Amino acid sequence: MVFRFLVTLCFITLLVGCGQKQETPKAENVATINDHPITEAQFEAYLKFKRVPAADEKRRRMLLDQYVEREALSAAVESENLLDRELIQAELNEFRKEMLISRYFEKFLKDKVTDEAVQNYYNTHAADYEQKMVHGAHVLIRTNSKMSEAERKAKLTTAQEAYSRIRAGKDFGEVAKQYSEDKVSAKKGGDLGWLKEGIIDPRFSQVLFGLEPGGVSEPFETAFGFHVVKLLEGPKMVKRPFSAVAGDIRYQLRNKVKQAEMERLLSKVKVEKKAQ
């Protein structure tokens, strides 16, 4: 019954679009269900919905059998009065609204945001796509929530020992290789590469970005454990490339256009709600 409703809706829309003064040829029927005609136009709309090529006669004949059978089965089910008609109607109405709204905006937005518009937005909002970055390194002594207080204090002692060796003049990279439990960065002397502000952990970012180049922090704790961090280079501002943000910009611009069109459409409709 959903298909019957949809194709009938499409057929009526086509008739209205052609103008009321234009005489429409009488449609031929492909079948009747309890004296209710299924027109050629309805079936053609269904084939278009299923994306069946006009030249594929074999598939058209197969789908006609299926289409008529489902129409007949739907009619039989309706006559049984087993289902809640109001509930079914509510579901159909929700499907209708969802289909109409989504199809409308799919077509309406198709060419509304051009590549040029996306590029222009990127050029005029350059500051929005700049990121503050630093080149950092750390020594990590891991902890977890299951550790006892004694175990946690032992970990802190190890981090303080690593920090003391750095303060005494030991190369940070060598200390990281010896002490750090982040095995990936430890192999590189604790080097984490260039990091965006806010990455890894808020506390970690706050401490690292608060250092002067070459500065080393005292041990501090995050959810990962105890860190000793060093600011190797930076900070510097890095602009995200257009290719990395073009999709987000297009989505943002399309949403603005969609919102404006929704407001225009709603302004055309008179709505009165009963006071609760």
Which of 176, 175, 156 shows the shortest CA–CA distance to 220? 156
Q: Tell me, what's the pLDDT at 24?
A: 45
Query: Measured between alpha carbons, how far is 44 from 119 in angstroms, rounded to an integer?
Result: 42
37 cis-preceded (ω within 30 degrees of 0)? no
Q: Tell me, what's the pLDDT at 143?
A: 96
Q: Tell me, what's the pLDDT at 27?
A: 56
pTM: 0.59
Q: Tell me, what's the pLDDT at 274?
A: 84
8 Å CB contact between 205 and 197: yes
Three-state SS letters, the chain: CHHHHHHHHHHHHHHHHCCCCCCCCCCCEEEEECCEEEEHHHHHHHHHHCCCCCCCHHHHHHHHHHHHHHHHHHHHHHHHCCCCHHHHHHHHHHHHHHHHHHHHHHHHCCCCCCHHHHHHHHHHCHHHHEEEEEEEEEEEEECCCCCCHHHHHHHHHHHHHHHHHHHCCCCHHHHHHHHCCCHHHHCCCCEEEEEECCCCCHHHHHHHHCCCCCCECCCEEECCEEEEEEEEEEEEEEECCHHHHHHHHHHHHHHHHHHHHHHHHHHCCCCCCCCC
- Who's near 136: CB < 8 A, 6+ residues apart? 192, 195, 208, 229, 230, 231, 232
Mean pLDDT by 10 residues, the chain (276 residues): 42 39 59 91 92 89 93 92 92 96 96 96 93 96 95 97 97 97 96 90 94 97 97 92 95 97 96 84
